[in-house]
Amino acid sequence: MRVAVIGQGFMGSAIACRLLARGHDLVVFDSRRAACAAAQRDGAVLGQNSAAVAARCEVVIASLPSESATGEALWDLEHGAITGMSAGSVLIDCSTNTVQTTLATESRCRSAGIDFLDCPVSMAGGPADQGALTLMVGGDAAVVEHYRTLLTDFGTPHYFGPVGTGTVAKLVTQYIGFGSALLALEATVAAERSGIDIAALLDLIPYSAAAGGLVSATLEHVNKGDFRGSADQAWAPLYIVHKDMHAAIELAETVGVVPAIGSAATALLDNAVAHGWRDQSFTKAVELVRESC
């Protein structure tokens, strides 16, 4: 199957690597052409723009970092992917956007006779290049079944219902996970100031009500003071968590929920962004909590 992957960032490049390993004929594009080097090295063809890439494939997978990138790469009337796609093809959007943006993409696809799946992803199941991503899928059930083999080539699909429900599932789990992790930063400073060492707290976490992979990982990074990560990508970069938490708050407000805890957590992220830490791990926000008293 000939597949296009638009967006060769941390997740998109890993998805491309996995699909190539599974034998798919792959075409890739990223506005940063250098980001496509790894996929090209493994056998992918580099396209000139999103529309040109999409015109060559029956399946287009998008993995984009922001709302503005989605608009540019998918919606642009001259170079956007939807412009280049043929009726009957499918767009699988693995980006994490607001529900409103997801529905706007679906509306454009429907007008062009293109099938659409919202399919945000998580690495909670394991690395993308090992086919272990968790896929949160929304869309027509028949379309999901038609492309299930492709989806399982790079992850485990969890189907939730119509377009938009995959995005809701991703935002809610981000809300729970990172909201809890940010609360853990606050509680950890309280523990520190009460004479409990972070390393000792880590020993307790697996045997307490606070047990959970994300919380433990958050505290491990705080304990190490490792906020920058590797040269390629910090763990859970602030700009990603900031974007997702704001989208989750918007979702909560849309359905009439007053996000008191979520808003406070997001305000902490806003402050961290204002400090210029967007490319570091969101866990660096612990420094703001430490300085708050």
Tell me the domains of the chain and their CATH numbers. 2-161 (3.40.50.720), 168-290 (1.10.1040.10)
Tell me the DSSP string of 127-163.
-GGGT-EEEEEES-HHHHHHTHHHHHHHEEEEEEEST
Mean pLDDT over 14-35 rounds to: 95
pTM for the model: 0.87
Indicate the pLDDT class of residue 209, thresholds 50, 70 and 90. Answer: confident
For residue 293, the model assigns a pLDDT of 64
Cα(154)–Cα(284) distance, rounded to whole angstroms? 31
Q: With 90 as the cut, is the pLDDT of residue 130 above it?
A: no
> What token pair was written down for 97?
């956007």
Cα 132 from Cα 135, distance rounded (Å): 9
Q: What average pLDDT does the chain have?
A: 93
Share of the chain above pLDDT 90, in %: 82
State pLDDT tens for residues 135-179: 999 999 999 999 999 999 999 999 999 999 999 999 999 999 999
- Please give the Cα distance from 32 to 10 (Å, whole number): 13
Structure tokens at 3: 């597949």
- The mean pLDDT value for 90-106 works out to 97
**How confident is the model at residue 82, as a pLDDT?**
98
Length of the chain: 293
Report the pLDDT averaged over residues 235-245. 93
d(CA 70, CA 67): 5
pLDDT of residue 106: 98
Band (64; pLDDT cuts 50, 70, 90)? very high
Question: Exposure of 12 by Cβ count < 10 A (0-12 exposed, 13-18 middle, 19+ buried)?
Answer: buried
Residue 214's φ and ψ, nearest 5 degrees, are -70, -40
